[in-house]
Amino acid sequence: MELAQIDQWAVGGASAWHRASTLAKILSTTLLLGAVIVATDWRALAAIYAALFLILAFARLPVFKIALIAAYPALFSILFALSATGGIGIVVLIFARGCTAALAMLLLITTTPYVEIFAALGRVLPALIADGLFATYRAFFILLETFARLVTSVRLRGGYSRWKLKSMTQMAEVIGVTFLHALDLAEQSHAALHLRGYAGKIPASDKWRRVNANDGLPVMLGVGAVVVTLLVR
């Protein structure tokens, strides 16, 4: 799945959750992650995961696709879980934490335009780091499209077939060309910023902190997750 699809879900959504302010959704995500970290019972994590699942459905998002995306980073938690001591219980708990935390983050980025998220991050991170993350995020979609075009070009010329040494060599060349595109894009972006009068910080709007009547739902979810975690121990 292309990551650009996530941005389309965030911008094109019209649900009450989409319309909630970025500030409220970031606060909700922070509370959710805090609840996941301190949870000591898989049942609490299951309840939070189910609530997130329902919110995704309420926001009219493809629930199962997003849950599958969330499972990818959570799989890496198994490697840590298998090295931990404490039996199957701790393995289940660590994996449940990974799945729930990933789903909470995806709920944020699939319902909030990335421009507003980075505008909020710019208030708590040094300008250099915030601007670097913003530029990297935007450039990633461009490089992703470049990589897809190169792969398509190789396939149309009959030069790609899975599990063949020639194909692996050609894929390595495609990755190398994409890397060169990344270097060129970095230089062009740096030059463009200075030509446009970049003075150490990319201007950002304050739309992310404009609260509205829809903010109650994200805040209630975050607070509810904390309460459930404290009660189910």
Domain ranges of the chain: 4-119+208-231, 126-203
Q: In the prediction, which pLDDT does 81 show? A: 63
What average pLDDT does this structure show over 106-134?
79
- How many residues does the structure list for the chain? 233
The answer to whether residues 48 and 36 touch, using CB atoms and an 8 Å cutoff, is yes
CA distances in angstroms from 165 to 156, 179, 210, 229, listed in the order given? 18, 21, 55, 51
| Short-list 64, 88, 65, CA closest to 78 | 88
Helix axes 216-231, 22-38, angle to 10 degrees: 10
Answer yes or no: is pLDDT of 230 > 60.
yes
What average pLDDT does this structure show over 99-121?
88
Reported as a single tens digit per residue, the pLDDT across 175-199 is: 777 777 776 766 776 666 666 665 5
Share of the chain above pLDDT 90, in %: 33
Helices (H), 110-215: 114-121, 127-156, 165-195
The mean pLDDT value of the chain amounts to: 79
Reported as a single tens digit per residue, the pLDDT across 22-75 is: 999 999 999 999 999 999 888 999 999 999 999 999 999 999 888 888 877 666
Answer yes or no: is pLDDT of 200 > 70.
no
Q: In the prediction, which pLDDT does 165 show? A: 47
The answer to whether residues 201 and 127 touch, using CB atoms and an 8 Å cutoff, is yes
Q: What is the pTM of this model?
A: 0.72
Kindly tell me the sign of the dihedral angle through the C-alpha atoms of 190, 194, 196, 197. Answer: positive
Answer yes or no: is pLDDT of 226 > 80.
yes
Share of the chain above pLDDT 70, in %: 68
Q: In which residue are the tokens 């729930």 written?
A: 100
Q: In the prediction, which pLDDT does 61 show? A: 93
Q: In the prediction, which pLDDT does 127 show? A: 67
